[in-house]
Each structure stands twice: as C-alpha cells, then as structure tokens.
Amino acid sequence: MSTPVTLIPGDGIGPSITEATVRLLDAAGADITWDSQLAGAAAVTAVGDPLPEATLASIRRTKLALKGPLETALGKGFRSINVALRKTFDLFANVRPAKSVLPGLRFDGVDIVLVRENTEGLYIGVENYIKVGTDEHAAAQSIAVVTRYGAERIHRYACEYAIRHGRRKVTMVHKANILKYSQGLFLEVGRQVASEYAGRIEIEERIVDACAMELVMRPERYDVIVTTNLFGDILSDLTSGLVGGLGVTPGSNIGNEVGIFEAVHGTAPDIAGKGVANPTAVMLAACQMLDYMGQDALAQRIQTAIETVLRERKQLTRDLGGTATTEQYTDAVIARL
C-alpha cells in the first residue's frame, strides 16, 4: 500500500532539489503518495503565513515529511519555522549521520551518527538581562534545563537506534564535571539507561572537549554519539565537516509520532534557479526516511547509488568541484540504482 508523505519543497533551491529527490525515489520504485504543502517564504507569498494550518494538518495525517530548506526572514518578526515544527510535533531527537564517501578528504573511514537532544538544554529560550545601576545590560543569563524525562528518552532513542542499525557503540557526551546539575543529570540518567542495555551494546562516556579533540584526530573511533542540545548543535557541524560539509549532510527530526527529514543546508539563494544545486543532502534525508519507514533495503540501494556516483567523481555538481547540473547528477544516480 502506498505511503502518504508530506512534501515541503521549500524556498530557494528547495523546489529543484526536492523534485530531483522525488524523481530518484520514483525511479527506485518507492511506493509513496506525495502530499505537496507550502511553508517558508513560498507560503508567505501564497497565503500570508510561513507555516499554514494545511501544512500542519498534512503532517498530522501522514506523520512523515520530506522538507526542503526554508527561508527564515531574519528580523521580520516571525519565528523560525524549523523551531516551530520541532515544538509542534515534539521532535525530540535530531539525528545527523556523517559518513566518509567523497574521496580525497582529510579523513577516511568516518561513519558517525550524532543524536542530539532537540528540546531542552540551553536552547529552551529562557534568557534575560540583569540591570546593575543604569546599565540595563550589565549581565545576562541563559538557563539550561535538563529533565529526567527528556534525558531518558534521548538516551533510550540512541541505544535503540544503535541496536536497530547494527552499530557497535554509543558514546554519551557531556560536561558533567563542571555543570554538575544539568549535565550531571544527563549523565546520571544516561548511566541508568545504559545499565538496561548492558551486554547488548557498548556504551561509553566522554567529556565534550575531549570528544571534540578526538573527533578531529581519530574520528573513526566514534560510532553513535548522544548528547545535549548545544553540544549536539556544535558537534554535528563538526562531524559534517569531517565528511565534506553541509552539502552532503542529511538530518532528521524525530518524535514519538512524527518524523521530518531534511537537508542540513539552507536555501542557497546565490544559486537558486540556476539548476546547479547539489541534491545529495535531501536525497540522503529521503534514505533516512525510507529507513525510518522500515524500508531499509530500498534506502540502502538508493544510498549505494548516490555513494557510487560521488566516489566515481564523474558527475559532480559545482559545489563538489564538478560541472554537472542538478538534473545530470540525478540522472547519474538513477542510472546507478
């Protein structure tokens, strides 16, 4: 039976890279009924709302969305749509795989999945200035909140993910030696969850600064990493950098009910409409989605085709040093299926 999936083409290069991805999935025989919906600047232009109710209703119905990048109009008063989606659907896990595929990079053999807690920590938005004398901004504070509930579900998610994907190890990354309460609780709960998984998967602990150093010295020692919001934000860009940058990095935001899959990069306004955007990240996000849907074999087949084209280096888009258009690159991947 065909699976309904909400498709949000997005802004800038979004429509062309999502179209390329839909074409690839069709060619691979994915049985999906796409429900195309608006968000971002395209939605503002069409209906005056960056996140229309029809789009939310579609995601509520399908519980799955493949999303192109959205333009966030800085300073125009509307909140980030990505944050709004995360909050609306309680998408607590941000999952970012980073795998060495492109030849000639500084590192080979990187295959890391970073699981970032997406709803708590220092990013809850509780911040204020403290006035001293006449200085309104004499000091500032940002509150980090870690809950047992939030920590438990992300640790559990990382362990379950690791087992389901045949991974060997989960590394809990923290700073509990200094932030004894918030990071301390994250680690305490992590250890409790780890005890439940003893014998099924190796679980280790690393302090975030040591982890950052090791990631650029011996990245191949890492497998699945689970960490809090701020550390995950920083380390996930670091791991993307190890494997060729944001252009080839997919990401997913997972909740108990809904999964939203996307590229990590933005709308690339400088190349929008030129037909030269690299669709790899959205294509890999679609593979993450198929895997999430239980269609692991199909996901693997598509991913292998993408990796083959990248390794051959004959049909690469401009950002990767080639001359292929979005269409030519997509044709090359389809030919490799």
Rounded CA Rg of the chain: 20
Residues 6+ apart with CB under 8 A from 118: 86, 91, 92, 93, 94, 229, 232, 253
Task: Point out which span in 20-28, 123-131, 220-228, 268-276 binds ligand NAI (CB under 6 A).
Answer: 268-276
- Cα–Cα distance, 226 to 117 (Å, whole number): 8
67 catalytically annotated:
no
Neighbours of 181 (CB within 10 A): 10
Candidates 211, 222, 215; CA nearest to 241 is 215
Contact track, ligand NAI, 176-205, x by CB under 6 A: ------------------------------
Residue 132, amino acid: V
Q: Does 236 bind ligand NAI (CB under 6 A)?
A: no
In the bound state with ligand NAI, the residue whose beta carbon lies nearer, of 45 and 192, is 45
- Of residues 41 through 80, those in contact with ligand NAI by CB under 6 A are 69-72
209 catalytically annotated:
yes
76 catalytically annotated:
no
180 catalytically annotated:
no
Instruction: Give the shortest CB-198-to-ligand NAI separation in angstroms.
Output: 37
Using a 10 angstrom Cβ sphere, with 0-12 exposed, 13-18 middle and 19 or more buried, the burial of residue 169 is middle
Catalytic annotation, pick one of 233, 291, 319, 331: 233
* Six token digits for residue 328: 């030519």
Q: Nearest residue by C-beta to ligand NAI? A: 266
Candidates 297, 330, 296, 281; CA nearest to 26 is 330
Instruction: Give the shortest CB-265-to-ligand NAI separation in angstroms.
Output: 3
Q: Does 86 bind ligand NAI (CB under 6 A)?
A: no
Catalytic residues: 123, 175, 209, 233
Interacting residues toward ligand NAI by CB under 6 A: 13, 17, 69-72, 82, 246-247, 262, 265-271, 277-278, 281, 319
